[in-house]
């Protein structure tokens, strides 16, 4: 479990992620459902590699991710590592 000071340091390094209590959240938007499906597949593969799984909410052309360490419902370094790795799946404009 991270301290509030550690959480603040890690969240500063992420782009577009928000903190909702003990959960990292981010919504990704896509042009079509095929792109959404492909991105979800890549997240699942990455999650398996890291053995850390986000909650994935798919709605039309958006994906909302919620990351926390369960069952404790706390933030750990693994949560921030996963968020950073997910961001690397999308080329930056």
Look at residue 92 and tell me if it is in a domain.
Answer: no
Distance CA 89, CA 4 (A): 27
pLDDT of residue 24 exceeding 50, the answer is yes
Residues pairing with 18 in the sheet: 25
pLDDT of residue 91 exceeding 50, the answer is yes
Look at residue 93 and tell me if it is in a domain.
Answer: no
Residue 56: which residues within 8 A CB-CB, separation 6 or more?
40, 43, 44, 63, 64, 65
Look at residue 75 and tell me if it is in a domain.
Answer: yes
Instruction: Taking residues 7-20, report their average pLDDT.
Output: 96
Look at residue 42 and tell me if it is in a domain.
Answer: yes
Residue 45: which residues within 8 A CB-CB, separation 6 or more?
none
Number of independent structural domains in the chain: 1
Distance CA 26, CA 83 (A): 9
Mean residue pLDDT of the chain comes to: 94
> CATH code at 40?
3.30.1360.20
**pTM attached to this predicted model:** 0.92
> What does the DSSP 8-state code read for residue 69?
B
Give me the domain span that covers residue 28: 4-87
Look at residue 23 and tell me if it is in a domain.
Answer: yes
């Amino acid at each position: 479990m991270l301290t509030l000071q550690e959480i603040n340091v890690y969240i500063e390094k992420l782009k577009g992620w928000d903190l909702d209590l003990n959960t990292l959240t981010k919504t990704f938007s896509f042009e079509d459902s095929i792109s959404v499906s492909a991105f979800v597949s890549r997240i699942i593969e990455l999650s398996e590699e890291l053995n850390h799984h986000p909650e994935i909410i798919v709605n039309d052309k958006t994906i909302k991710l919620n990351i926390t360490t369960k069952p404790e419902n706390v933030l750990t370094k693994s949560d921030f590592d996963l968020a950073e790795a997910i961001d690397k799946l999308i080329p930056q404009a």
